[in-house]
C-alpha cells in the first residue's frame, strides 16, 4: 500500500459541496463536456463548468473571432449557445449520465434574466453548483459588464441567491478589468456568493497591419492563456488576503501542475483549466497528476494545506 496516497486529501469545497479533485474546466473552454470526453473520463476532474448559458439561443459574434497572441489568444465568441431550454434537455442529462459533476455557468443581460436562469436551475436535480458569469467582455455593450460595477454586481448575486435557494453553491466570476477587484469581491460575497471565480479574460485587441484593420470582426476580445497568469495570481492573492474564508476557483493561463500550484499558493482552493484545453485536450488530467506530485513533494497532506501559503511567508 502506498502510505502517501492513502493520507493525501485532494478535496476542495465550495459552499456545502465537496469536490473530489481541485481541477475544473473553465467555462467557455470545454463546451458542454462531450467533446473532451473522448480524451479523458469527465468524472476524473472536480467538475465540468459548462459554457455560460443564456435564456435564449445566442448565435455568438461574427468570425474571425479568434487571434493567437504571444502566449495567449484573443476571442470574441460572444457566448454562442443554444439557450437554457435546449441546454437542460440535451447537455445536462448527458453530463450527469456520464457521472460528471456539473457546475452550470449562467449569463444574463439583465438582473431579471439571471433571476430567471436561477429559477430554471433550482429544479434541476444533480447539479453541483452555479457559476454566475457577470464578467464576459464580449457582450455588444461593454456597459453591461456587471462585474465592473459594484452595485450591479450585488444586484445580480442577490437575485440569483434569492431564486436558487440555499443548497446549490454560487460561484461568481469576476473581471480583472477593474480598478479595485477586492471591492467588487466584497460586494458579491456580502450579497450571498459562496465562492469566487478569478479571473475572466482581459479585454484586448490586435490589428492586422497588412489588412490595416482589427484582426477580430468584433474588434475587441478577451485575452486568455499563459500571458494573463500573473494577473490572475495578483487578483487571487489580493482577494484571498481580504476574504480568507471565501473559496476561490482560480483560473488564468494554467497549463501545468506548477501553474496550478502557483494559483493555489496565492489563495485559490481549486483551479480551472481553460485555454490550455485548446492546445492539449488532456490538459486537465495532466495538471491534476502533476499537481498531486508537486504537493506531495512539498510535504502537503492535502491541497487545502497549500491554499494561500504564499501569504504566510
Binding site for another protein (CB under 8 A): 28-31, 34-36, 38-39, 56-66, 68, 70-73, 75, 77, 80-83, 217, 225-226, 255, 275-282
Nearest-approach distance from CB 66 to another protein, in angstroms: 4
Which residue stretches of the chain are H helix? 3-7, 84-97, 111-122, 150-164, 181-190, 229-242, 257-266, 276-279, 283-297, 303-306
Nearest-approach distance from CB 140 to another protein, in angstroms: 11
> Which is nearer to another protein, 9 or 68 (by Cβ)?
68
Q: Is 136 a catalytic residue?
A: yes
> Which is nearer to another protein, 10 or 39 (by Cβ)?
39
Torsion of CA 250, 180, 17, 8, to 10 degrees: 40
> Which is nearer to another protein, 181 or 254 (by Cβ)?
254
Write down the catalytic residue from 12, 29, 136, 148.
Answer: 136
Q: Tell whether the torsion through CA atoms of 204, 208, 214 and 216 is positive or negative.
A: negative
What string of DSSP letters covers 167-209? SS-EEEE--S-SS-HHHHHHHHHHTT-SEEEE--PEEEE-EET
> Which is nearer to another protein, 235 or 276 (by Cβ)?
276
Nearest-approach distance from CB 154 to another protein, in angstroms: 29
DSSP-derived 3-state class of residue 79: coil
Nearest-approach distance from CB 194 to another protein, in angstroms: 27
- Please list the active-site residues: 136
Amino acid at each position: 500500500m502506498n502510505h502517501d496516497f492513502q493520507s493525501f486529501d485532494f478535496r476542495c469545497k465550495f459552499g456545502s459541496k465537496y469536490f473530489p479533485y481541485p481541477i475544473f474546466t473553465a467555462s467557455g473552454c470545454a463546451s458542454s463536456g462531450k467533446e473532451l470526453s473522448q480524451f479523458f473520463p469527465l468524472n476524473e476532474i472536480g467538475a465540468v463548468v459548462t459554457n455560460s448559458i443564456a435564456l435564449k439561443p445566442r448565435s455568438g459574434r461574427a468570425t474571425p473571432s479568434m487571434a493567437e497572441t504571444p502566449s495567449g489568444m484573443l476571442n470574441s465568441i460572444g457566448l454562442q449557445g443554444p439557450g437554457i431550454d435546449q441546454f437542460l434537455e440535451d447537455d445536462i442529462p448527458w453530463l450527469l449520465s456520464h457521472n460528471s459533476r456539473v457546475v452550470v455557468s449562467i449569463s444574463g443581460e439583465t438582473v431579471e434574466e439571471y433571476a430567471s436562469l436561477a429559477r430554471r436551475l433550482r429544479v434541476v436535480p444533480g447539479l453541483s453548483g452555479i457559476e454566475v458569469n457577470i464578467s464576459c467582455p464580449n457582450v455588444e455593450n461593454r456597459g453591461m459588464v456587471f462585474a465592473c460595477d459594484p452595485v450591479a454586481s450585488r444586484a445580480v448575486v442577490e437575485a440569483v441567491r434569492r431564486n436558487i435557494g440555499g443548497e446549490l453553491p454560487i460561484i461568481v466570476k469576476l473581471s480583472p478589468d477593474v480598478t479595485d477587484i477586492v471591492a467588487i469581491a466584497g460586494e458579491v460575497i456580502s450579497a450571498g456568493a459562496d465562492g469566487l471565480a478569478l479571473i475572466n479574460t482581459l479585454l484586448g485587441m490586435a490589428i492586422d497591419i497588412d489588412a490595416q484593420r482589427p484582426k477580430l470582426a468584433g474588434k475587441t476580445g478577451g485575452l486568455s492563456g499563459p500571458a494573463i497568469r500573473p494577473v490572475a495570481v495578483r487578483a487571487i492573492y489580493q482577494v484571498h488576503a481580504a476574504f480568507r474564508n471565501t473559496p476561490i476557483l482560480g483560473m488564468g493561463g494554467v497549463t501545468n501542475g506548477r501553474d496550478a500550484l502557483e494559483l493555489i499558493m496565492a489563495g485559490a482552493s481549486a483551479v480551472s483549466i481553460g485555454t490550455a484545453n485548446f492546445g492539449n485536450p488532456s490538459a486537465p488530467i495532466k495538471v491534476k497528476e502533476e499537481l498531486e506530485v508537486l504537493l506531495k513533494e512539498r510535504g502537503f497532506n492535502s491541497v487545502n494545506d497549500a491554499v494561500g501559503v504564499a501569504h504566510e511567508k
